[in-house]
Structure 1
Amino acid sequence: MTNSTITKGFIVSGVMNTLGVLIFTKGFTNNVIPETDPVVMSYFGLLMIMVWGLAFIAVARIFDKVKWLVGVFVLEKLAYVIAYSYWISNHSLLDVYDQDVMAGLFYSVYGLNDFMFMLFFSYVFFKIKSSPETLAR
């Protein structure tokens, strides 16, 4: 994967976090998302997801200089994958869709989205970790 592609990946992940939250919550007016998972997806939690998205965008062009921060991004995504796995094993997506289609779509995609970006950030972390110029620093 080229550095240009990686930069675009960071930007896409940031846009998914920021605009994704705004779209699925209908500008923070959709109560179904935070009511469905008040621990992880509270309005504060959703705002923090957007902040993480801004962090992804902020390092898009300098990712190769912040390998340990990229490692933190892997852990952040892992935490959401675990939270989603727990949630999906104890809840019904159909119940969420019955309340609100956008909330249903949100809960249908967020776990897969975080899993895919966890893999992406892992790839970037190990690519940076093994590159010769990184080892020289």
Structure 2
Amino acid sequence: MKINNELLTKGFIAAGLMNVFGVITFSRIFTNTVIPEFDSQAMSNFGLLMIVIWGLVFIAVSKNFQHLKWLIAVFTLEKLIYATHWTKWMTTNNLRDVFEKDKMAGIFYTIYGINDWIFFTFFLFVFIRLTPER
């Protein structure tokens, strides 16, 4: 299957939209206090705002990613860090406790790491694709 740049551009936009609208929706525009309560290290309101900023960056480079191989490597690393953090969080916390306090926060914690693993794989694929064969 041949994956063209137009499809990859859509992948960058999708990654960005997931970050932006996922955070804005589940944090109720940064008013949901339960998300930061359960992970104040990564999911403070400042941390959530930075996730939105990353999303805007993904969208901003979507049409020029072919020239930004090393920035795509940074995106890959960023997603790996968040996905790994989520995986560790899932093994040391009880998701039921989050759902009991707030359903939106529970949904957020259920899906954000899956999203990050998916887009880690996407960005890794793009980075490898931009690496010339020797």
TM-score (norm 2): 0.96
Partner in structure 1 of residue 41 of structure 2 = 39
Report the equivalent of 1:60: 62
Aligned partner of 2:92 in structure 1 is 90
Separation in 1, partners of 2:43, 2:49: 9
Aligned residue number for residue 124 of structure 2: 122
- Unaligned 5+ residue runs, structure 1? none
Whole-Å separation in 2 of the counterparts to 1:56 and 1:116: 14
Q: 1:69 aligns with which of 57, 71, 96?
A: 71
3-state SS, counterpart of residue 120 of structure 1: helix
After superposition, give the CA deviation of every residue in 1:32-71 in whole Å (9 maximum; x if it has no partner).
0011100000000000001100110010000000000000
What letter matches 1:70 in structure 2? I
Residues 76-116 of structure 1: per-residue CA shift (max 9 Å, x gap): 00000111011111101111000000000000001100000
* Matched positions, count: 132
Q: Distance in 1 between matches of 2:89 and 2:125?
A: 26
Q: Partner of 2:131: helix, strand, or coil?
A: helix
Match of 1:78 in 2: 80
What is the distance in 2 between the residues matched to 1:5 and 1:96? 36
| 3-state secondary structure, aligned to 2:42 | coil
Opposite residue 126 of structure 2, the aligned amino acid is V
Superimposed CA distance per residue, residues 16-41 of structure 1 (whole angstroms, 9 cap, x where no aligned partner): 00111000001111000011100000
Of residues 23, 26, 35, the one that matches 1:24 is 26
Aligned to 2:13: 11
Report the 3-state secondary structure (helix = DSSP H, G, I; strand = E; otherwise coil) of the residue aligned with 1:41. coil
Q: Residue 117 of structure 1 aligns to which amino acid in structure 2?
A: F
Superposed structure 1 runs of 4+ greater than 2 Å apart:
none
Q: 1:130, CA displacement in angstroms?
A: 2.4
Identical amino acids, percent of aligned pairs: 49
2:32 partner SS:
coil
